[in-house]
Amino acid sequence: MARRAVRGAAQQSRECSCHDSLLNESKILLVPISLPHPLAGVILGFDMKVLGLVDSHIHLTDFETGTDIHALIERAAAAGVGCLVCNGTSEDDWAEVREVALADSRVVPCFGVHPWYTPRRSDEWLSVLEEFLLSMPSGVGEIGLDRNEQPCDREAQEEAFRAQLDVARRLRRPAMVHCVKAWGWLIDILRSEPVLPCGMLVHSYGGSADLIKPLADMGAYFSFSGKVLDGNFLRARAALLAVPRDRLLVETDAPALMPPPEYRSEVVLTSDKREHNSPVNLPDILRGVAELLGERIDTLHEIVVENAARFLEPILEI
């Protein structure tokens, strides 16, 4: 995947001077950057006014090549989104995810192999993944199971998922989990594995309400995207009502999962006029979730920020 211009403002930058040259080499040398993460003080101090809303799941590297990611992050910040959890999906995008996070401390990076991309893993994928995870404060993601993916190589998906759960456990990082039409399979795997010490986030939750308690008991947080605002997704709406308030998160999954028109403040148009979702829409999604829950927006705002701070704490206190 091509790299894009994502340089942040100087005060946001965590760039090391050797970074560009490292990325240009065929074998990337990952030099650990200074720790802890700049957001750690904000998050550990629970200064919610400074932190703002957290987009708990986004793919900043999936926007069209040439998209000004820094401007996108600034527009999201102006809308009240102060932190974005940016997921990688395969070895192809990990360097770019790292680059985006190094350029802007509001981006919390995650590295992982998404179930769609398990067939492209190299022989060294697991050791490369660990190198990326150890190179900076980061989570494990996006990982998971997807039976919609055709052909669905269940064995490869399960092997990659279990291996990455093991990495999350050993390195004490939270995991970002994707699950589509694989809920029984997910529960079986999680029950057969030791508990994740830093928990997991099930992104754009689409399972049933019945699974909320068993997943919560295994340390899950539940992140809802604009999809739950679509009246056709009744199961996700029922599940939303069952989520313990201290496990609730919100996300855009931008550029994917465009929310319904009444919950869109921004549409990112591609050069061929396709409409992409934007992190600017997160406050609209929060408003919609508050409506579904019958909760005040400011109360829910406080709840999801506090939840995100708690969930991300293991990453940011590294």
x/- map, 211-230, Zn ion, by CB under 5 A = --------------------
Minimal distance, residue 288 CB to Zn ion, in Å: 19
Listed ranges 26-34, 142-150, 193-201, 219-227: which one lies at the site for Zn ion (CB under 5 A):
142-150
Instruction: Report which secondary-structure segment, H or E, holds 172.
Output: none
Out of 142, 149, 251, 284, point to the residue binding Zn ion (CB under 5 A).
Answer: 142
The 3-state DSSP class for residue 220 equals: strand
- Please give the structure tokens belonging to residue 41: 């003080």
Closest CA to 312 of 138, 115, 167: 138
Nearer to Zn ion by Cβ, of 12 and 149: the residue is 149
The CA-CA-CA angle for residues 159, 186, 144, to 5°, reads 55
Shortest Å, Cβ 203 to Zn ion: 6
Among 16-24, 137-145, 151-159, 267-275, the segment contacting Zn ion (CB under 5 A): 137-145
The distance of closest approach from Cβ of residue 258 to Zn ion in the complex, given in angstroms and rounded to an integer, is 14
CB 256, min distance to Zn ion, A: 7
What are the beta bridge partners of residue 109?
86
The full DSSP string for 78-109 is HTTEEEEEEEP-SHHHHHHHHHHHHH-TTEEE
Query: SS3 for 34?
Result: coil
Q: Which tokens go with 52?
A: 């703002």
Interaction between residue 96 and Zn ion (CB under 5 A):
no
Nearer to Zn ion, 198 or 257 (CB): 257
Residue facing Zn ion at closest CB distance: 142
| CA atoms in the 13 A half-sphere facing the CB of 270 | 11
Find the part of the chain contacting Zn ion (CB under 5 A) among 18-26, 71-79, 134-142, 238-246. Answer: 134-142
Binding site for Zn ion (CB under 5 A): 142
